[in-house]
């Protein structure tokens, strides 16, 4: 098992975490408020925050000696190794490309001088294509926009050859479209190349799309840890449960997270003339279709060779291979409306027949949990519509929403 065991106790950094990250299961997400210690945790994992700093503090203030950094990966301990020997690479939110070099030189620098570059499992051309930075190569790195810098930074990290990549809000400057593409790139890389990712984010949606396991950190301590589906349910319903476990620390900062559902889509069919893609919600029922914006399948079918991407998304990243017939999407609960009849005289493209499995009152709103072929869908409706429709548990309704 490729688990990363961490045992960190450091009063100076206000961090006390003893857990193991199940890296082999998939991408691990780290979630928490700003200032909760997420970034510090990553810095410690990457050996950029030394236990040694504790010694100077000890001398000065006479703190009790309770600093401990124990990081174990594949039966080896990395407690006080230098950052360059640590198998974890930290990629920060600020891209910090080397300002004296062009984009291409930034990438070549890593290949030339990194101790790990021999282990890089792919070529520089592949990485450039995946990250969609072909058109930036000759530019000086300081002339790039924030989003472009983050793309180049990801490319540089991938070329480094270290097996574990720690990403601290890596795509914060990119729009949602580009973000989802890069997140699915990470998932693909994790599966195909045995690369391990730990991703810090304050967006649960981002984590829903890529991670398998989530750690929730608050005030330097691990407050929750579990599979993504479980934890996202818990965290987005935090406010509804607040009466039950108001004493729990978790609820404090996360109740304002918008509720959303994560749906798995399969078997895409491109509707090029409408710039839409038709997906199936489940393999079994061919009638359950969902439309999404953009005709993405054409891209993977053409192997992305001539695709330079639309202006808005900068340059779209290509999927690693053609088998991208599966896609995760998020859907905000307040974008879903409910109807008792199958209403086809509407501009809403998506209408799904669903069963009501749960009804929760949250202040002046009602959160209705629906079951669509085993997948969970949330709809947030007003109290008025709820009483007008007189919805009951177990009833069948139609959930409607616009193309995603």
Partner 1 sequence: MTDWFTDAQALWLTIKLACLTVILLLLIGIPLAWWLTKYQGRLKPIFEALVALPLVLPPTVLGFYLLLAFSPDSWFGQLWITLTGEQLVFSFSGILLGSLIYSLPFVVQPLMAGFSQLGHQYGQVAASLGVPPVKRFVFLILPLIKPSLISAATLGFAHTLGEFGLVLMIGGNIPGETQVLSIALYHHVEMLSYDKAHNLALVLLCFSFVSLTLLYKFNKPFYSNDKSHRTSNRNQNSAVD
Residues contributing to the site for partner 1 (CB under 8 A): 46, 48, 82-84, 86, 88-90, 92, 96, 98-100, 109-110, 112-117, 140, 142-143, 145-148, 156-157, 160-162, 174-178, 205, 312-314
CB of 338 to partner 1, least distance (A): 23
The secondary element (H helix, E strand) that includes residue 280 is strand 276-280
Backbone angles phi, psi at 181, to 5 degrees: -65, -45
Based on CB atoms, which residue is closest to partner 1, 161 or 268? 161
CB of 224 to partner 1, least distance (A): 25
Based on CB atoms, which residue is closest to partner 1, 225 or 277? 277
CB of 130 to partner 1, least distance (A): 18
Contact 181, 316 (CB under 8 A): yes
Based on CB atoms, which residue is closest to partner 1, 69 or 213? 69
Based on CB atoms, which residue is closest to partner 1, 108 or 395? 108
Based on CB atoms, which residue is closest to partner 1, 13 or 354? 13
Q: Which of 11, 10, 19 is nearest to 80 (CA)?
A: 10
Three-class DSSP category at 379: strand
Based on CB atoms, which residue is closest to partner 1, 74 or 100? 100
What does each C-alpha distance from 38 to 198, 220, 380 come to in angstroms?
11, 8, 31
Q: What are residue 6's DSSP bridge partners?
A: 19, 71
Q: Which of 23, 12, 21, 10 is nearest to 69 (CA)?
A: 10
CB of 341 to partner 1, least distance (A): 31
Phi-psi region of 152 (alpha: psi -120 to 50; beta: other; left: phi over 0): alpha
CB of 242 to partner 1, least distance (A): 25
CB of 257 to partner 1, least distance (A): 13
Q: Which of 216, 221, 211, 200 is nearest to 251 (CA)?
A: 216
């Amino acid at each position: 098992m490729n688990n990363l065991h961490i045992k960190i106790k450091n009063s100076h950094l206000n961090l006390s975490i003893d857990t193991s990250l199940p890296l082999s299961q998939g991408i691990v997400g780290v979630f928490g408020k700003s200032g909760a210690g997420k970034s510090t945790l990553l810095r410690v994992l990457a050996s950029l925050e030394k236990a040694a700093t504790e010694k100077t503090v000890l001398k000065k203030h006479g703190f009790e000696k309770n600093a401990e950094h124990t990081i174990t990966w594949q039966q080896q301990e990395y407690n006080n190794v230098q950052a360059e020997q640590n198998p974890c690479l930290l990629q920060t939110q600020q891209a910090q490309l080397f300002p004296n070099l062009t984009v291409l030189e930034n990438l070549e620098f890593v290949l030339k001088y990194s101790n790990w570059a021999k282990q890089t499992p792919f070529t520089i051309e592949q990485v450039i294509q995946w990250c969609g930075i072909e058109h930036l190569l000759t530019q000086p790195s300081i002339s790039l926009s924030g989003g472009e810098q983050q793309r180049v930074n990801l490319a540089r990290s991938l070329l480094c050859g270290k097996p574990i990549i720690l990403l601290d809000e890596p795509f914060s400057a990119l729009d949602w479209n580009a973000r989802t593409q890069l997140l699915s790139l990470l998932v693909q890389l994790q599966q195909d190349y045995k690369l391990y990712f730990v991703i810090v984010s304050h967006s649960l949606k981002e984590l829903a799309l890529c991670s398998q396991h989530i750690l929730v950190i608050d005030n330097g301590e691990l407050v929750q840890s579990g599979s993504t589906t479980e934890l996202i349910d818990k965290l987005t319903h935090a406010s509804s449960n607040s009466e039950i476990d108001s004493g729990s620390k978790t609820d404090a900062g996360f109740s304002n997270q918008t509720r959303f559902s994560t749906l798995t889509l399969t078997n895409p069919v491109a509707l090029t003339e409408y710039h839409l893609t038709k997906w199936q919600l489940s393999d079994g029922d061919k009638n359950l279709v969902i439309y999404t914006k953009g005709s993405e399948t054409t891209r993977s079918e053409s192997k992305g060779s001539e695709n330079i991407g639309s202006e808005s998304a900068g340059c779209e990243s290509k999927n690693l291979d053609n088998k991208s017939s599966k896609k995760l999407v998020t859907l905000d609960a307040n974008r879903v409306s409910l109807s008792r009849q199958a209403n086809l005289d509407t501009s809403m493209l998506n209408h799904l027949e669903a069963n009501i499995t749960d009804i929760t009152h949250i202040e002046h709103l009602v959160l209705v949990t629906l079951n669509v072929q085993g997948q969970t869908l949330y709809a947030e409706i007003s109290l008025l519509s709820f009483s007008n429709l007189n919805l009951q548990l177990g009833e069948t309704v139609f959930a409607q929403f616009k193309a995603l």
